[in-house]
Amino acid sequence: MSGTRPSRRSDTRQRIQSVALDLFAEQGYEKTSLREIAERLDVTKAALYYHFKTKEDILSSIYADMTRPVDELIGWAREQPPTLETKLEVLRRYGASLGGAQPLFRFMQENQATLRELKIRHSLKERMMDLVGVMVPPDAPLPTRLRAVTAFMSLHAGVFGLDAVGGSADERMAASLEIAGELITAAHTATGAEPSSR
Amino acid sequence: MSGTRPSRRSDTRQRIQSVALDLFAEQGYEKTSLREIAERLDVTKAALYYHFKTKEDILSSIYADMTRPVDELIGWAREQPPTLETKLEVLRRYGASLGGAQPLFRFMQENQATLRELKIRHSLKERMMDLVGVMVPPDAPLPTRLRAVTAFMSLHAGVFGLDAVGGSADERMAASLEIAGELITAAHTATGAEPSSR
DNA sequence: GTCTATAAGTGGATAGAC
DNA sequence: GTCTATCCACTTATAGAC
């Protein structure tokens, strides 16, 4: 190897992403100005424009970089046999992904109105439906599909937005996984995979 | 009665609220300008300022006027005996409230970041916890409390944001109530009210 | 009760020097 | 790769006429 790759490209780009995400998550996208981002980095607005074409471009790049794990999870899940065990594993991995990209997911959940207007795949809904597709067949009855949706919402609830309910982050995650597991189990058996004692 | 009350006060105030809510829900709070609201009503910005002190004041007034039913529901629920039947009735009534003030609740769900900064009781979380307090005792274990939270989230999911899951609004509401009912039933029996066949 | 006019400021974005 | 300087559209909000 002839060195550590000539293009470390300066880490400014990543520092911008990091600071921008913090501010976006804290105050919302619209209320965060480029001036504010630049100030916190001790550079000027014009410097931002060297690295990113527009404000929206900053957000898009963060989004693309951080959602890869979830996309990989969806890809992985589609290759597995649709057993209950697979589905429970998806829940566990998804929960872990949420933890890893917490500020981004929190931002996405709290700024849906903004994201709807931007050209970013607004992901919350779309990815959710991809995941639901892994959990239950597309022709499953409505309550069954909704059960799957609710399972993922329970995970989201456990990871952010529920400090009010108390407990540590780990405890909340464990509790969420328990509830999500019950919902998916109910949905799974309802699809006729293994008729339960009903 | 000496007439229909002197102060109809001009319905302009209400028309402003109505148009503003539409736009807020459609585009988000920050992206909606007073000019836009005024234009759609064929009045000028200054006219808005006659009826409301600030932009935020418009939103506050909408909020106050439309969330009364939920506050009343919480009040009602607190006077009832905490039976399972009471709790299921709370779910039904809450679902109906959501339907009645759909644009507002959708707005609140999609603009959490904005609401956090405004001086409005951001209600989504606070009201949710009030309702949870009706459903399970404050000292209930974490998974039990989280089950109650998830039940309300399921109702929200059924009312808005889930066109992707298919079905009519009525069908989604019925399915949501079913799932929410299951979660609350589990939480209820878990608190020792009536040990189930477990 | 609604208007015109304008204040005072912020936003995103660009040109061009260094 | 980062800066200075600037543009201009647009924002909330106010003063005061009608």
Q: What is the pLDDT of residue B194?
A: 56
CA distance A154 to chain B (A): 6
In this prediction, residue A193 has a pLDDT band, given cuts at 50, 70 and 90, of low
Q: What is the pLDDT of residue A197?
A: 47
Q: Which of A173, A165, A152, A153 is nearest to B153 (CA)?
A: A153
For the cut 50, the answer to whether the pLDDT of residue A100 exceeds it is yes
Structure tokens, B198: 């477990």
Instruction: Give the Cα separation of B35 and A77 in Å (integer).
Output: 49
Q: What is the pLDDT of residue A2?
A: 40
Nearest to A30 among B31, B126, B154 (CB): B31
Q: What is the pLDDT of residue A4?
A: 40
pLDDT digits 0-9 by tens, B118-173: 877 666 778 889 999 999 999 999 999 999 999 999 998 888 767 778 889 899 99
Report yes or no: B172 at the A interface, CB cutoff 8 Å: yes
Q: Report the pLDDT averaged over residues A133-150.
A: 95
For the cut 80, the answer to whether the pLDDT of residue A180 exceeds it is yes
Instruction: Give the Cα separation of B168 and B99 in Å (integer).
Output: 13
Q: What is the pLDDT of residue A157?
A: 86
Q: What is the pLDDT of residue A198?
A: 43
Q: Which residues of B touch A109 (CB under 8 A)?
A: 112
- Residues near B197 by beta carbon (within 8 Å), at least 6 away in sequence: none
Mean pLDDT of chain A: 89
Q: Which residues of B touch A149 (CB under 8 A)?
A: 157, 162, 165
Instruction: Give the Cα separation of A61 and A55 in Å (integer).
Output: 10
Q: What is the pLDDT of residue A127?
A: 86
Instruction: Give the Cα separation of B74 and A64 in Å (integer).
Output: 42
Phi, psi of A147 (to 5 degrees): -65, -40
DSSP assignment letter at B160: S
Range with lowest mean pLDDT among A76-80, A147-151, B40-44, B153-157: B153-157
For the cut 90, the answer to whether the pLDDT of residue A21 exceeds it is yes
A60 CA to D5 C1' in angstroms comes to 29
In this prediction, residue A122 has a pLDDT band, given cuts at 50, 70 and 90, of low
| Positions of chain B with pLDDT lower than 50, given as ranges | 1-7, 195-198
Q: What is the pLDDT of residue B167?
A: 86
Instruction: Give the Cα separation of A182 and A146 in Å (integer).
Output: 13
Cβ atoms of B20 and B43 closer than 8 Å: no
Q: What is the pLDDT of residue B116?
A: 87
Nearest to A150 among B27, B116, B154 (CB): B154
Q: What is the pLDDT of residue A124?
A: 72
For chain B, the distance separating the N- and C-terminal CA atoms, rounded to the nearest angstrom, is: 63
**Test the B interface: residue of A146, A152, A170 with most B CBs within 10 Å:** A146
Report yes or no: B28 at the A interface, CB cutoff 8 Å: yes
Alpha helices in chain B (DSSP H): 12-27, 34-41, 45-51, 55-66, 68-79, 84-100, 102-110, 112-117, 124-135, 142-159, 169-190
B12 CA to C2 C1' in angstroms comes to 11
Q: What is the pLDDT of residue B3?
A: 39
CA distance B110 to chain A (A): 5
Q: Which of B191, B154, B144, B128 is nearest to A187 (CA)?
A: B154
For the cut 60, the answer to whether the pLDDT of residue A1 exceeds it is no
Chain D nucleotides with an atom closer than 7 Å to a protein C-beta: 1-6, 10-16
Q: Report the pLDDT averaged over residues A58-64.
A: 93
Instruction: Give the Cα separation of B32 and B20 in Å (integer).
Output: 8
Instruction: Give the Cα separation of A191 and A144 in Å (integer).
Output: 8
Instruction: Give the Cα separation of B24 and B9 in Å (integer).
Output: 24
Q: What is the pLDDT of residue A161?
A: 65
B49 CA to D14 C1' in angstroms comes to 10
CA distance A44 to chain B (A): 25
In chain A, pLDDT over 70 holds for what percent of residues? Answer: 90
